Structure 1
């Protein structure tokens, strides 16, 4: 598979704001998370536009394609190219602007798995594009023998916090990380969209050949059904959210065999489904 280097775009930006106090009003510069569209083009066909935080564009595109079920591994990908990294004659003509498109070429076998041509799917930063109700029990995650120590899960909170540079700078931005069964980080990514953060982490691990080691997907945002679907399609058996889940998220996790954890903190968490994967505390 061929790749191309990414163009550099800022993940945060400065904006003038007015802070209002009881004592009066003051002008200030605030750091805000950036949000821009990213088109995903497969073999000349634009299949989706994601509203994302700039950065890790190839990883986001690969993770999105895998979590949608369009590819199963890097063996399905012949080329991934972030337009704007150099050598793009039509760069300035792109209606989404420079650096906001990733082009992929897939094998003929993978092309046959793509959905029928339809209007481009727009996925905004607050919502995903997965139809979880249609998945049902089709997404079955194995690794029933896996056991995760509670201490391992508690330790993820501090590990994630150490690398959330964009969150510390601006707030209002999500993070997602993939970890092995011992809590060692494989990929941790930030994005204004919680789904994009998960896709970036999955895509990063995929590109680095580490996805098979992933046992836990940890996320700062809520673990709704679409996040569960992403984990299941990547064969990740444990999802741990710093926030809550949803009724449909719990239903899908139960059916897919995913251990779902919510309200993860440094010393506690809530288990919604498949608690058998948690190692007993002596």
Structure 2
């Protein structure tokens, strides 16, 4: 089981924030040297059955969750029980050459995942050498995920509008690292009563989601009665990812794209945007949200 293997390995010891020297410039032209704390960043080299599939720019920490959530939400496997082993490895020659050839100064972490029932044709990637680079600043959707129509969300869960109104405040209050030095996205997992289960922070909004997904699978939680709150924009690629995990409600304090809303409505995924203050907008599958007065506030 994946849980047994996770306990065998320690997560990266890197800091989510690093102190650095800066020059602060003001409108009067004055300059002052100060110390600042900025987000840390590493490169995660992800191998699936001994084939390197991705290089992910991410925040240190919760890397086992990130790796398992990534392969599941991007369609490499459809069941977490197919993961036989997840392990941290020493940097190998391929990683060293990547740094040397690209002039990148960053800590590199290697994670290898062993699965059953994954054929070579299922590992379809773009990029040099068949390796996909996932930056922290933009969405990305693997060929695996895009080639298959996303599964429908089957859940009888209903959520009160008052619950939705409280999620942004709860999410903000638990962002330990963003509150300390900024520069991070977050994603939180809630139950239908609005109780927070956990929160993940990362420089990439998609990484946050994959870390949450990995937590769900590792801890064998039921996703059909959960809500995920994200601080980032909800776009089409996010709908594909969430559909593979079968979470019925996605909430953001930011915007929602038209394509994401249209696809989500077809597969029964409820998307809520601009959930902050005393209002929110339901963009798809509104029947899952009860108490219409809260929705119109």
TM, length-normalised to structure 1: 0.89
State which of 140, 158, 174 in structure 2 corresponds to 1:163. Answer: 174
Distance 1:131 1:78 in 2: 22
Correspondence for 1:189: 200
Q: Which residue of 2 aligns with 1:48?
A: 54
- In the alignment, the residues of structure 2 paired with residue 15 and residue 147 of structure 1 have an alpha-carbon distance, to the nearest angstrom, of 47
- Identify which of 150, 154, 157 aligns with 1:142: 154
The yes-or-no answer on 1:73 pairing with 2:85 is no
Report the CA distance between 1:271 and its aligned residue: 1.0
1:58-111 per-residue CA deviation (whole Å, 9 max, x = no partner) reads 10000111110112333111001123xxxx4x668842676511111001x244
Point out the structure with the larger helix share.
2
Say which SS state the counterpart of residue 62 (structure 1) adopts. Answer: helix
8 A contact 1:222–1:243 mirrored in 2: yes
Instruction: State the match for 1:227 in structure 2.
Output: 238
Distance 1:229 1:10, change over 3 A: same
Query: 1:10 and 1:274 mapped to 2: Cα distance?
Result: 40
Q: Is the 8 A contact 1:174 1:191 kept in 2?
A: yes
Query: Following the alignment from structure 1 to structure 2, what is the Cα–Cα distance between the partners of residues 113 and 209?
Result: 28
- Structure-2 separation of matches of 1:269 and 1:116: 38
When residues 91 and 48 of structure 1 are mapped into structure 2, their CA distance, relative to the original with a 3 A threshold, is closer
CA distance, structure 2, for counterparts of residue 211 and residue 52 of structure 1 = 26
Q: 2:112 aligns with which of 103, 108, 117?
A: 103
Counterpart of 1:262 in structure 2 is 273
Partners of 2:79 and 2:148 lie apart in 1 by 22
Instruction: With the length of structure 2 as denominator, give the TM-score of the two structures.
Output: 0.85
Superposition pairs of residues 172-211 of structure 1, within 5 angstroms: 172-211=183-222
**Pairwise CA distance, 1:139:** 2.5
1:102, 1:111 → 2: CA distance?
19
State how many pairs are aligned.
Answer: 275
Residue aligned with 1:196, SS: helix
How many angstroms does 1:276 deviate by? 0.5
Give deviations 1:32-79, integer Å, cap 9, x for gaps: 111221011011100111110111111000011111011233311100
Gaps of 5+ in 2: 100-105
SS state at 1:264 partner: strand
1:26-45 residue pairs with structure 2 within 5 A?
26-45=32-51
**1:71 alignment partner, SS class:** coil
Conservation of the 8 A alpha-carbon contact between 1:178 and 1:214: no
CA-CA distance at 1:187 after TM superposition? 2.6
Whole-Å separation in 1 of the counterparts to 2:261 and 2:236? 7
| Residues 243 and 135 of structure 1: CA distance in aligned 2, closer, same or farther (over 3 Å) | farther
Deviation at 1:112, TM superposition (A): 6.6
